[in-house]
Structure 1
Amino acid sequence: MNMRTSTYTVTFPDEFVLPGYPDELPAGEYEVVIEEECLQGLSFEAFRRTATYLTIHGKGEHAGRTELRPVSERDMELAITHGRNIPRDVNDSEAALSPQEDLK
């Protein structure tokens, strides 16, 4: 099964919360990781999202610890929209490139 991973960075100007997590997260830049799997048996290349994670870097007594928090695509989009953030720095892994995209 072919998988691909994409990442992008969002900036939250204010503290925010994500559904399912009790703590409030501080304002700042966060990396969003998206994992997708290739759908087999089609005459064209298509991918299905299997997971979305928000990368949380520890601060204070938790400095040096990184946590990937699973979050639904909808909840992540709502958090971004609510904070009026614009995703930037999109970085797709090489596995995410189709042969046609690789030639560009």
Structure 2
Amino acid sequence: MSTRTTESTVAFEHPSSLRALDGPQPPETYRVMIDEEEILGVSFRAYRRTATLLQTPAVSVRGGLSQSHLVDRADLEAALEADGKASRAS
């Protein structure tokens, strides 16, 4: 079974909290890694998400140690949606 990891970034304009992290994170851009495994036995190439990782500190922070936190996909999407609503209300 093959696996793949894709990397992207998410940007928060306001302090945001995720259950997997200790306390709110500052408004910054963060690196997100998504691990997926191939679904075998189908007639086309398909993958299922197995993990969503958020890397701290933010992308703009240079030096020091970084940590990857296993986060719930729905929790991350909800935090991004709440951040967007807060931005539109400002």
Aligned to 1:48: 48
* Shift >2 Å, 4+ stretches: none
Q: Structure 2 matches for 1:1-104, cutoff 5 A?
A: 1-57=1-57, 64-84=64-84
Identity %: 35
1:25-64 alpha-carbon deviations (Å, 9 max, x no partner): 1111101110100011211111000000111028xxxx51
Cα distance in 2 for partners of 1:67, 1:56 equals 5
Q: Which SS does the other structure have where 2:41 is aligned?
A: coil
Q: Which SS does the other structure have where 2:84 is aligned?
A: coil
1:73-98 alpha-carbon deviations (Å, 9 max, x no partner): 1001111111119xxxxxxxxxxxxx
Aligned length: 81
TM-score (norm 1): 0.71
Q: Which has the higher contact order (CA 8 A, sep 6+)?
A: 1
Cα distance in 2 for partners of 1:4, 1:20 equals 23
| Structure 1: gaps (5+ residues) | 86-104
Q: CA deviation at 1:22?
A: 2.9
Say what the alpha-carbon RMSD is for the aligned residues: 1.7
| Structure 2: gaps (5+ residues) | 86-90
Cα distance in 1 for partners of 2:44, 2:82 equals 35
Cα distance in 2 for partners of 1:8, 1:21 equals 19
Residue identity matched to 1:69:
H
